[in-house]
Copies of this chain bind each other. A is one copy, B any other.
Amino acid sequence: MKESSLTRKAPIGAGVARVPRPVVRFRMRVTRGDAIAIGPGKIALLETIHQTRSITAAAKAIGMSYRRAWILVDDVNSALKRPAVASLVGGETGGGSTLTEVGLELVAVYRRIEANAEKACAADIKRMLSLLAK
Protein backbone atom coordinates (compact mmCIF):
# COMPACT_ATOMS: atom_id res chain seq x y z
CA MET A 1 0.00 0.00 0.00
CA LYS A 2 1.30 3.42 -0.91
CA GLU A 3 1.63 5.89 1.93
CA SER A 4 -1.40 8.17 1.71
CA SER A 5 -1.36 11.91 2.18
CA LEU A 6 -3.49 11.30 5.28
CA THR A 7 -0.62 9.33 6.81
CA ARG A 8 1.82 12.07 6.06
CA LYS A 9 -0.49 14.66 7.64
CA ALA A 10 -0.67 12.69 10.88
CA PRO A 11 0.15 14.81 13.95
CA ILE A 12 3.64 14.69 15.37
CA GLY A 13 3.97 11.74 17.70
CA ALA A 14 1.17 9.81 16.03
CA GLY A 15 3.79 7.59 14.42
CA VAL A 16 5.17 8.89 11.14
CA ALA A 17 7.18 5.76 10.47
CA ARG A 18 4.84 2.78 10.47
CA VAL A 19 7.27 0.50 12.29
CA PRO A 20 10.12 2.41 13.98
CA ARG A 21 13.40 0.60 14.49
CA PRO A 22 13.54 -1.31 17.79
CA VAL A 23 15.80 0.26 20.41
CA VAL A 24 17.14 -1.65 23.42
CA ARG A 25 17.35 0.31 26.66
CA PHE A 26 19.02 -0.94 29.79
CA ARG A 27 17.90 0.81 32.91
CA MET A 28 19.36 0.21 36.31
CA ARG A 29 17.76 1.20 39.57
CA VAL A 30 19.01 0.88 43.11
CA THR A 31 16.00 0.53 45.35
CA ARG A 32 15.68 0.52 49.11
CA GLY A 33 12.35 -0.87 50.13
CA ASP A 34 9.84 0.99 47.95
CA ALA A 35 12.13 3.96 47.35
CA ILE A 36 14.37 4.36 44.32
CA ALA A 37 17.74 5.51 45.68
CA ILE A 38 19.46 5.78 42.30
CA GLY A 39 17.81 5.56 38.90
CA PRO A 40 17.94 6.91 35.36
CA GLY A 41 15.97 10.09 36.18
CA LYS A 42 18.28 11.12 38.99
CA ILE A 43 21.41 10.34 36.99
CA ALA A 44 20.14 12.44 34.05
CA LEU A 45 19.44 15.29 36.48
CA LEU A 46 22.96 15.09 37.93
CA GLU A 47 24.45 15.14 34.44
CA THR A 48 22.43 18.21 33.54
CA ILE A 49 23.42 19.98 36.77
CA HIS A 50 27.02 19.21 35.84
CA GLN A 51 26.49 20.82 32.43
CA THR A 52 24.51 23.85 33.58
CA ARG A 53 26.12 24.36 37.02
CA SER A 54 22.65 25.12 38.37
CA ILE A 55 19.72 23.16 39.73
CA THR A 56 17.34 25.82 38.38
CA ALA A 57 18.81 25.66 34.88
CA ALA A 58 18.95 21.86 34.96
CA ALA A 59 15.30 21.63 36.03
CA LYS A 60 14.33 23.97 33.18
CA ALA A 61 16.41 22.01 30.64
CA ILE A 62 14.75 18.74 31.65
CA GLY A 63 11.28 20.26 31.88
CA MET A 64 10.93 19.61 35.59
CA SER A 65 9.84 21.99 38.35
CA TYR A 66 12.59 23.46 40.52
CA ARG A 67 10.87 21.92 43.53
CA ARG A 68 10.91 18.44 41.98
CA ALA A 69 14.57 18.80 41.00
CA TRP A 70 15.49 19.98 44.47
CA ILE A 71 13.71 17.00 46.06
CA LEU A 72 15.51 14.56 43.74
CA VAL A 73 18.88 16.15 44.55
CA ASP A 74 18.07 15.97 48.25
CA ASP A 75 17.08 12.29 47.82
CA VAL A 76 20.37 11.46 46.10
CA ASN A 77 22.44 13.36 48.66
CA SER A 78 20.63 11.56 51.49
CA ALA A 79 21.14 8.18 49.84
CA LEU A 80 24.91 8.62 49.65
CA LYS A 81 27.61 8.60 52.29
CA ARG A 82 28.74 11.99 51.00
CA PRO A 83 26.64 14.39 48.86
CA ALA A 84 26.67 14.30 45.04
CA VAL A 85 25.65 17.94 44.60
CA ALA A 86 27.10 20.96 46.39
CA SER A 87 26.04 24.60 46.36
CA LEU A 88 28.56 27.17 45.22
CA VAL A 89 28.38 30.12 47.54
CA GLY A 90 28.77 33.65 46.19
CA GLY A 91 31.32 34.51 43.55
CA GLU A 92 30.70 36.43 40.34
CA THR A 93 27.87 34.15 39.26
CA GLY A 94 26.18 34.39 42.63
CA GLY A 95 26.08 30.76 43.54
CA GLY A 96 24.89 27.83 41.49
CA SER A 97 25.50 24.15 42.07
CA THR A 98 28.13 21.65 41.09
CA LEU A 99 28.71 17.93 41.27
CA THR A 100 31.13 16.80 43.92
CA GLU A 101 33.80 14.20 43.27
CA VAL A 102 31.34 11.59 44.57
CA GLY A 103 28.64 12.91 42.24
CA LEU A 104 30.95 12.66 39.25
CA GLU A 105 31.97 9.15 40.22
CA LEU A 106 28.36 8.07 40.69
CA VAL A 107 27.39 9.29 37.21
CA ALA A 108 30.47 7.72 35.62
CA VAL A 109 30.04 4.33 37.26
CA TYR A 110 26.29 4.28 36.49
CA ARG A 111 26.81 5.02 32.79
CA ARG A 112 29.69 2.54 32.62
CA ILE A 113 27.46 -0.18 34.07
CA GLU A 114 24.73 0.48 31.50
CA ALA A 115 27.20 0.51 28.61
CA ASN A 116 29.02 -2.63 29.76
CA ALA A 117 25.75 -4.46 30.37
CA GLU A 118 24.71 -3.85 26.80
CA LYS A 119 28.15 -4.83 25.49
CA ALA A 120 28.27 -8.03 27.55
CA CYS A 121 24.86 -9.13 26.26
CA ALA A 122 25.27 -8.11 22.62
CA ALA A 123 24.83 -11.62 21.22
CA ASP A 124 21.67 -12.34 23.24
CA ILE A 125 20.27 -8.89 22.46
CA LYS A 126 20.79 -9.61 18.76
CA ARG A 127 19.04 -12.96 19.19
CA MET A 128 16.11 -11.29 20.97
CA LEU A 129 15.78 -8.62 18.29
CA SER A 130 15.76 -11.34 15.63
CA LEU A 131 12.46 -12.58 17.12
CA LEU A 132 10.79 -9.22 16.44
CA ALA A 133 8.67 -8.51 13.41
CA LYS A 134 10.29 -6.18 10.88
* Residues of chain A having any CB pair with chain B under 8 Å: 13, 15, 17, 19-34, 37-38, 78-82, 102, 105-106, 109-110, 112-113, 116-121, 124-125, 127-129, 131-134
Contacts and interface: CB of A to CB of B under 8 A. Distances in A.
Integer count of this chain's copies in the complex: 2
A80 B38 contact: no
Contact of A79 (B24, B110, B133): B133
Contacts of A134: 81
List 4 tightest A-B contacts by C-beta distance, closest first.
A120-B120, A117-B117, A20-B33, A113-B121
A131 B105 contact: yes
A117 B26 contact: yes
A11 to B, nearest CB: 13
A114 to B, nearest CB: 9
Contacts of A117: 26, 117-118, 120-121
Given A25-B31, A81-B134, 11 more contacts: A20-B33, A22-B30, A22-B37, A23-B31, A26-B26, A26-B28, A27-B28, A27-B29, A113-B128, A116-B124, A117-B120
